[in-house]
Copies of this chain bind each other. A is one copy, B any other.
Amino acid sequence: MSKFMLNTLGLGSVGIASYFWGRSSTPQSPVQPPSNPTSTGIVPAKGNNQNSVGAFDPATIRPQDFFKYGYPGPNHDLGNRNEFISCYDRSTRNPYWVLEHITPQSIKSVEGVDRKKSVFREDEAIPLKFRARLRDYFRSGYDRGHQAPAADAKFTQETMNETFLLTNMSPQVGDGFNRDYWAHFEDFCRRLTQKYDNVRIMTGPLYLPKLCEDDKYRVTYEVIGSPPNIAVPTHFFKLVVGEKNGDEQIAAAAFVMPNEPIDNARSLTEFQVPIDALERSAGLELLQKVPYYNKKDLCREVKCEIIVREFPKAIQRAASAPAGLPAPRN
């Protein structure tokens, strides 16, 4: 075990200091030098307080007083947008989750709203030291993958622009995933508005273990940026909920997909997972206030399938949406 750890885990012994100090803008300690630079050492002086105690009062031990220096967090930065709410993880520089609400009306194309007018941008609400940066994605080989898709937010240009904030992004494999199977999956979610008055979608990254040859489970993921800053999730999930007005019952399903090319021939139901298994993996509680008798399996209510529309890009842009169906991803 120890040998394994030495060989494979973490930075080497020399690595730690250079890794940390190297990331600091100054190679010196950021804390203020003492006014008296002479190191005094920990030599008990005469009459030091350890020897001058009476009866010990346990109430003098107050770990909570650390908070006078500021609460350390972790803080979850919530971004309240028009079409979605994002919750940001300061340690992975990814969202924890992004929550959306779409309706039959909200996903209709609106004249003049165009994703070509939107630009990716950093979320300045996030302190710089925890922020996902545009430069981290540069030449990383990964797409800036929308968690709330732009095509779900086209009722105003501002609404669509908000989906381009990096707090709505995770690094996603482009070809075969973000631009293909995942996009078809997003389209499936939009098509649910043909059956449901309200569709609520929670999307987010996962970092899942896999069984290795030595019979141990390990999580392995890349971190992009220089210095390394943004984690590349191994998987992505969506929790999809369909609501009908006046019906207390909801239809819900959870899906988990690997962040890698997926063959379009594969069935969407292959990726369905029990909601409680997603809870365990994400560390989240999902739909806990809904009694079990009001939760139906979405994939028994509707056919859970992707529809592959492989229009050439130019045609795709010019084409109007098939009648009665939302437009394919634009």
List CB contacts (< 8 Å) of A68-84 with chain B.
68-76, 80-84
Give Cα A251 to B35, complex, Å. 12
Q: How far is the CA of A160 from the CA of B302 in the complex (A)?
A: 55
Contact A44 B288 (CB under 8 A): no
Interface string of A278-304 (1 = CB under 8 A from B): 111111111111101111110011110
Residue of B nearest to A296 (CB): B34
Nearest CB to that of A56 among chain B residues?
B105
Report copies per complex: 2
Interface size for A (C-beta < 8 A) is 162
Instruction: Give the CA-CA distance A136 to B271 in the complex, in Å.
Output: 27
Given contacts A42-B302, A289-B70, contact A280 B23 (CB under 8 A): yes
Task: Annotate A301-319 by CB proximity to B: 1 below 8 A, 0 otherwise.
Answer: 1110000000000000000
Residues of B within 8 A of A253 (CB): 31
Is the beta-carbon distance between A85 and B63 smaller than 8 angstroms?
A: yes
Known A10-B210, A31-B292, A70-B287; 10 more pairs at CB < 8 Å: A20-B278, A31-B275, A31-B295, A34-B300, A51-B324, A71-B285, A73-B284, A74-B74, A90-B284, A217-B224
How far, in whole Å, are A66 and B288 apart by their CA atoms in the complex? 11
Residues A11 and B97 in contact in the complex (CB < 8 Å), given A5-B173, A33-B297, A193-B50? no
Q: Are A39 and B173 in contact (CB under 8 A)?
A: no
